[in-house]
Amino acid sequence: MKKVSALHNLNLEVEEGEIFGYVGPNGAGKTTTLKILTGLIYPTSGNAWILGRDIRDVAIKKDIGFLPEGPYFYDYLTAKEFLYFYGQLFGMRKREIEKKVGELLDLVELRHVKDIQLRRFSKGMLQRIGIAQALINDPKLLLLDEPMSGLDPIGRAKIKEIILQLKETGKTILFSSHILSDVEMLCDRVGILTQGRLIDVGSLDTLLGSGIKSIEIVTSHIAKDTLREIETVAEKVTLRDEKLVIVVNGEEDKDRVLGIINRNNGRLISLTPGRKTLEEYLVEKVNREVAL
């Protein structure tokens, strides 16, 4: 068997109370990182600390919640038994567990199915009960591996809602994902991992640039002459539903186009600034890294 080094010199810092998105292509080492942090595999060299403590200390896990990728759980247990079991693994008292299980079933909206075996749960429900088990100990740090993968839009929306709710309660959340629109919507900061190396870390604004990439202007009632004038400035002009869609680069061009429209009594319908998406950024970055 060939030994593959999955991670190299990874130095990842997550700040307290933030949602950190851990992104990168398949096989980049995202899951490996989380498995090392939770003690499922051992690093060949190096150390890892969480909340200032060495991960080899089992007691550190009292402050961590972990949801592995893909829902694989004891499917012969009912939702309530399932959460109860994990409560016991933290040495919690019976009454304490019962209270917490009730709260969590409400949070993930599964109280109505608490006495049903997990084998009868849908994927979305399993993912939610998975988040609930990760929260049984009221952890400071939550590690979620692909919490939204394989879910339908409604399931994803629910998970997002739960994650935002958790952030409000002051939890630090690190989640890996390749659904980048979700990461963009939820995360304060993002780390990009490729081929086992962390190639970029920062807030979305710093990574994607607060600068606007392009602006889309939608207008109507434009005469032919005016259109010709606009075309000299704009990047792209198209007709959509009898409206004119104009794409310009930068503020200056935007002002010039708006001036032309005004002067010729055109009607402005909408103005949308577009910035580079995380997806575009990631593809660009990873391709550059691979090319090096």
Partner 1 sequence: MKIRAIMINTFREAIRDKVLYSLLFFALLMIGGSILLGRLTIGENIKIIKDMGLASISIFGMLIAIFVGIGLVYKEIDKKTIYTVIAKPVHRYQFLLGKYLGLILTLLVEVAIMSFGLLLLVLSYEGHAELSILKAILLIFFELMTITAVAILFSSFSTPILSGLFTLAVYIVGHLSRDLLAFGAKSENAMIKYSTAFIYYSLPNLDNFNIKGKIVHQALVSWEYLSFAMLYGVLYISITLLLSMVIFQKRDFR
Sites of contact with partner 1 (CB under 8 A): 35, 38-42, 58-62, 64, 66-68, 70, 72-74, 76-77, 81, 85-86, 88-91, 130, 133-134, 137
Does residue 136 contact residue 86 with C-beta atoms inside 8 Å?
yes
Q: Pick between residue 121 and residue 281 the one whose CB is nearest to partner 1.
A: 121
72 contact partners, CB below 8 Å, separation of at least 6: none
Minimum Å gap between C-beta 282 and partner 1 is: 26
- Rounded Cα–Cα distance for residues 124 and 138 (Å): 22
Q: In what order do the strands lie in the sheet with 197-203?
A: 64-67, 141-145, 172-177, 19-23, 189-194, 197-203
Q: Pick between residue 84 and residue 281 the one whose CB is nearest to partner 1.
A: 84
Task: Give me 266's structure tokens.
Answer: 């055109």
Q: Pick between residue 55 and residue 286 the one whose CB is nearest to partner 1.
A: 55
Q: Pick between residue 8 and residue 119 the one whose CB is nearest to partner 1.
A: 119
Q: Pick between residue 40 and residue 51 the one whose CB is nearest to partner 1.
A: 40
Letter for the amino acid at 246? Answer: I
Does residue 19 contact residue 171 with C-beta atoms inside 8 Å?
no
Minimum Å gap between C-beta 24 and partner 1 is: 18
Minimum Å gap between C-beta 14 and partner 1 is: 17
Minimum Å gap between C-beta 140 and partner 1 is: 14
**Which of 86, 49, 91 shows the shortest CA–CA distance to 66?**
86
Minimum Å gap between C-beta 21 and partner 1 is: 20
Minimum Å gap between C-beta 19 and partner 1 is: 20
102 contact partners, CB below 8 Å, separation of at least 6: 111
Q: Pick between residue 62 and residue 236 the one whose CB is nearest to partner 1.
A: 62
Backbone angles phi, psi at 62, to 5 degrees: -65, -25
Q: Pick between residue 139 and residue 266 the one whose CB is nearest to partner 1.
A: 139
**Which of 131, 119, 48, 47 shows the shortest CA–CA distance to 78?**
119
Half-sphere exposure of 261 (CA within 13 A, CB side): 23
Q: How far is CA 207 from the centre of its chain?
A: 15
Minimum Å gap between C-beta 48 and partner 1 is: 14
